[in-house]
Amino acid sequence: MKKSNTTGLLRIALASLLVATLIGCGFVASVPWIRNADNNQVVNIGDSIFALSGEIQDFLHDWSGTTFRRYSVSGAELSGGVLAPSIVSQYQTAKNDNPNITTILMDGGGNDILLPVITLFDPYDCKTQWYEWGRLSSSCKNFINDIYVDAVNLLNDIHADGVDKVIFQGYYYTKWAIYNNLDDLEEAIDYGDAKLAQACAYSAANCTFIDPRSSINDGDIIADGIHPATSGSKKLATLLWPHIGPLL
């Protein structure tokens, strides 16, 4: 077998292992849900940035001296997806458990971009190669525009349900990992964060967007190139604290 073929097969195997590790059977790589907390009016929904280690919420619990509900799941896409409960469905579950929700802490949209890049060889061309001179493809922009619509729809639904406040955490830059060159996603993350910030601003919800790009560096990310290390989780919690702390 040629070396290039061996390398390609190794990358596929490593990508598959990553997805299996992160997603497992839906909850394997997620900290447990918190369906009954000290403060049931505050609810976290989202993906593995919150759910893989749970450290962001651990810091917020520590600093506030109270707990709030958590439904975030590793591998979750914003709307739809077959690998994990979507963020839309997490919100529905939280409402079914207890509809008295005043505050939502969330993220969303990252896996919609990342999973196709890792597992399907980037069908929307969201990685920007060196020869593209930092220009994001129109196919990736169109794809992210669709994610924007899903985000606005969810935020409008949250507002219609009477939720007072949404705190929407954006995404930081991923870094190089052995299975994929995830630092080629800078332009997609820039465009994606801009669209998520617009969704926050233009939806009916009372929504604050938190942009972590200038705060998180490579040393704050674990070896998979995606998820926050303890230092990264603490930085993210610190960014969130001025907005959510007074509501706890």
Residue 111 is encoded by which pair of tokens? 């896996």
Q: Whole-angstrom Cα distance, residue 137 to residue 125?
A: 6
| Residue 45 φ then ψ, to 5° | -130, 155
Residue type, 76: A
Q: What is the pTM of this model?
A: 0.89
- The model's pLDDT over 61-77, given as tens digits with 9 standing for 90+, comes to 999 999 999 999 999 99
Has residue 130 got a pLDDT over 50? yes
Instruction: Please choose, from the candidates 94, 48, 41, 104, the residue with its C-alpha nearest in 3D space to the C-alpha of residue 67.
Output: 41
Give CA separation, 21 vs 5, 54, 159, 229, in Å. 24, 16, 35, 17
Residue type, 115: L
Q: Whole-angstrom Cα distance, residue 199 to residue 123?
A: 24
Give the residue with greater pLDDT, 77 vs 119: 77
Give the H/E segment covering residue 16: helix 3-23
Cβ pair 231, 208 in contact under 8 A: no
Q: Whole-angstrom Cα distance, residue 123 to residue 16?
A: 17
Residue bearing tokens 């190669």: 129
* Mean pLDDT for the chain overall: 90
Cβ pair 147, 113 in contact under 8 A: yes
Q: Which CATH superfamily is domain 3-247 in?
A: SGNH hydrolase (3.40.50.1110)
Domain-wise residue ranges, the chain:
3-247
- The model's pLDDT over 147-206, given as tens digits with 9 standing for 90+, comes to 999 999 999 999 999 999 999 999 999 999 877 789 999 999 999 999 999 999 999 999
